[in-house]
Structure 1
Amino acid sequence: MGGMDIEIHPARPEEYPAVARLRWQWEVETGAAPVGDREDFAKEFAAWARAHTESHRCVVVCRNGTVIGMAWLAVVARVPTPGRFVRASGDLQSVYLVPEERSGGLGSRLIAAVLEEARALGLPKVTVQSTTRAIPVYCRNGFAASPKVLQAEL
């Protein structure tokens, strides 16, 4: 795992290509065959991330200056109610750590950083869609199943 110089922070624009490469690596790891060229994807992804900074906030974990993990907070506007015109909720998306960094607590620290960002934005709740393997990690970090959240597979 290397040195202990760990930093968790909101992704900077110059880190977006590295984040894109993590997204590509994740697809390869799960058995998908990404379409196109990895570096072209990194450029397009970085442009997408810059264009969506209000709705999709990325937090990264770096070891010795190298991006080794990411998590995204999607801020979803909600329909206004009387007395509360501005409403939003959060959705935790694309949480990923390179395989050699897993099981050391960095995933939990990354999730905590995203939840802190959600609190700072005043979001009342954050949802997450999880793989079966990752459910215990989310449960240890404050997530719980809700009988009120339903999903339709389309």
Structure 2
Amino acid sequence: MIIRIATKDDIDQLIRMRWDFTLEDDLDGTLKNEAYSGFYEECYDFLWKALQSDIWSIWVAEEDGMIVSNIYIELIHKVPRPGRITHPFAYMTNVYTKPDYRGKGIGSKLISKINEWAKENKYEFIIVWPSEDGVNFYEKNGYQHCKEPMENMLCE
């Protein structure tokens, strides 16, 4: 198992995984008529830009040349504050492991590597909004509940 940061050569696999991840949770079939081609173009554009930026880090677990798990990290830079050095924090999203590879510790190895990387880079904290099913996974990997953020839902 190789754990590494994704490259542009991984884009096609990452797009397919994002598609599969989304459809896996589409229990009411809302997305059954969505065209993969339109999604592919939008996601390709996003990933191409993300992989060239210093804002996104997309981590993958690879086995025999196939990506089996991924985690996306976006760095959020805070406004500097007098009296202390301001470090960015990390927003974790799109945490996904292919169904056949779940329960084997792959996601935990991937998140452990990300935690080490974040500490080495002195990021202030990592934040994630887990699904109900994901809470135990994050708790097992050292994450804890914090105060709920506030939101203003502008698009529905």
Q: Settle same-fold status: TM greater than 0.5.
A: yes
1:126 equivalenced with 2:121 (yes/no): no
- Distance (whole Å) between structure 2 residues aligned to residue 83 and residue 48 of structure 1: 37
Tell me what 2:48 maps to. Answer: 50
Equivalent position amino acid for 1:7 in 2: I
Distance apart, 1:113 and its partner CA: 1.9
Tell me what 1:38 maps to. Answer: 36
Equivalent position amino acid for 2:2 in 1: E
Tell me what 1:152 maps to. Answer: 151
Task: Say if 1:61 and 1:69, in contact at 8 Å, map to a contact too.
Answer: yes
| Greater mean alpha carbon deviation, residues 14-23 or residues 107-116 | 107-116
1:5-49 CA deviation, whole Å, 9 max, x = no partner? x11100011102211110000111111517754245334323322
Equivalent position amino acid for 1:25 in 2: D
1:8 equivalenced with 2:3 (yes/no): yes
- Distance (whole Å) between structure 1 residues aligned to residue 80 and residue 135 of structure 2: 32
Tell me what 2:63 maps to. Answer: 63
1:26 equivalenced with 2:21 (yes/no): yes
Task: Say if 1:76 and 1:90, in contact at 8 Å, map to a contact too.
Answer: yes
Structure 1 gaps, min length 5: 1-5
1:60-115 CA deviation, whole Å, 9 max, x = no partner? 11111101111011100111101446431111111000111111101111111222
After superposition, the CA RMSD in angstroms is 2.0
Q: What's the TM-score once normalised by structure 1's chain length? A: 0.85
Percent identity, aligned pairs only, is 20
- Distance (whole Å) between structure 1 residues aligned to residue 151 and residue 114 of structure 2: 26
- Distance (whole Å) between structure 2 residues aligned to residue 113 and residue 130 of structure 1: 19
Equivalent position amino acid for 1:151 in 2: M
Task: Say if 1:77 and 1:87, in contact at 8 Å, map to a contact too.
Answer: yes
Question: CA 1:34/1:14 → structure 2, altered by over 3 Å: closer, same or farther?
Answer: farther
Structure 2 gaps, min length 5: none
Question: How many residues get paired?
Answer: 148
Equivalent position amino acid for 1:49 in 2: L
Q: What's the TM-score once normalised by structure 2's chain length? A: 0.84
